[in-house]
Amino acid sequence: MGDGSIGATVANTIGIPDYTLDAVRSIQGVKYAVPLFSGGALVKLEDGTYQSVNVVGLDDTSLFGRPPMEQGTIDDIFAENSFIAVHDSEILKLGHPHIGTTFELNDHRGVVVGIAKVATSSLFGIPTLYTTYERAIQYIPNPRFTISYILVEPKSRTGISRIQRDVSDLGYLALTKEQFEQRISDFYKYQTGVGMNLLLMTIISFIVGLSISGQTFYTFILENLDKFGALKAIGAKSRELVLMILFQASFTALNGYGLGVGFCTLAITLAKARLPD
C-alpha cells in the first residue's frame, strides 16, 4: 500500500507516517505488515565517478521482499555498511561490482556483500541496491516520513477487499500485486507518450505497407493487361476478373500476415529466452 495522493502512477510515493504501519497491522485480516523504503541516491564509485542509483530498504526484522541471491547470502546485509547489488542490465553502470566492492553514499561508506537477481530490469536505466530499512533512512536524506510502502500479507484472499476498504478509510491506497502492476502499465500506456508512439508507429507501418502493396498490384495489372484482354475475349466476365484479382490480393496478404506474425513470435520467444522481462 502507498499514499493515496500518489497520483497517476503508484511508482511515485509520498512518505507514509509511522503510525500508519501500526494502524494497518491492527486491521482485521492482516497477517503481518512491514515497511519498505524506496528512494534515489547518488553514489561515488571507486574510480571517482558518480552514478544515480535506486536504494530499496528492507524491513530489518523480516527482510520481507528480499530478492533471490546469486552471490553471497542475504544475512550479510546486516553487516556494517552492507549493500546488495542487483544483477540486471544496469549493473555495469556500477563498474562491474563484486563482493567487496566499495563506494560512497552521502559520505557514508558502502560495501557490496552480495549480488541479487531480479525478474525485471530497471525501466529508467538506474542500477538498484538493497540494504536494510534503518540503514537506508540513515544514509539518504529524507523528509519527516520515511516509509515508502507498507507490504501487507493477508490471512486469506477473501480478506483483501476488507483490508483495502479499511486502508482507504485511513486515506491511503492498498493494491494487490496484480493491481499495482496494472496501474503502472496503464500509466505508461495512456498518460505518457509511449502508448501514442506505439499507436503512431503501427498506423504509419500499416499505411506504408498498404501503399506499397497497392502499387505492386497496380503495376501487376498494367503489365498483364494483354492477358486480361485475352481472358475477356474468351468469355471471362468482368466480375470474374475482379474476383480473381481480389483472391490474389487476399492470398498474398494472408501469406504476408502469417510470415509477419511468425517472425514476430520467433523474435519475442528469443527475447524472452534472453530477457525475462
Q: Which three cell numbers stand for residue 208?
A: 506504408
Query: 3-class DSSP state for residue 75?
Result: helix
* More confident position, 13 or 87: 87
Better-predicted residue by pLDDT, 232 or 55 = 55
* Last-in-domain residue among 190, 209, 239: 190
Q: Which residues span the domain enclosing 206?
A: 193-274
Whether 24 and 156 map to the same domain: the answer is: yes
pLDDT attached to residue 6: 46
Q: Provide the 10 A C-beta neighbour count for residue 102.
A: 14
Q: What is the total count of domains within the chain?
A: 2
Are 176 and 100 found together in one domain? yes
Confidence class of residue 8 from pLDDT cuts 50, 70 and 90? low
Reference 135, options 97, 82, 84, 98; nearest CA is 82
Rg (CA), the chain: 29
Across residues 157-166, what is the average pLDDT? 92
Helix, strand, coil % over all residues of the chain, rounded to 5: 45, 25, 30
179 and 197 in one domain?
Answer: no
Binned at pLDDT 50, 70 and 90, residue 252 comes out as confident
Written as nine digits, the cell of 63 is 527482510
Q: Do residue 58 and residue 158 come from a single domain?
A: yes
Tell me what the mean pLDDT of segment 99-113 comes to.
94
Same domain, 185 and 202: no
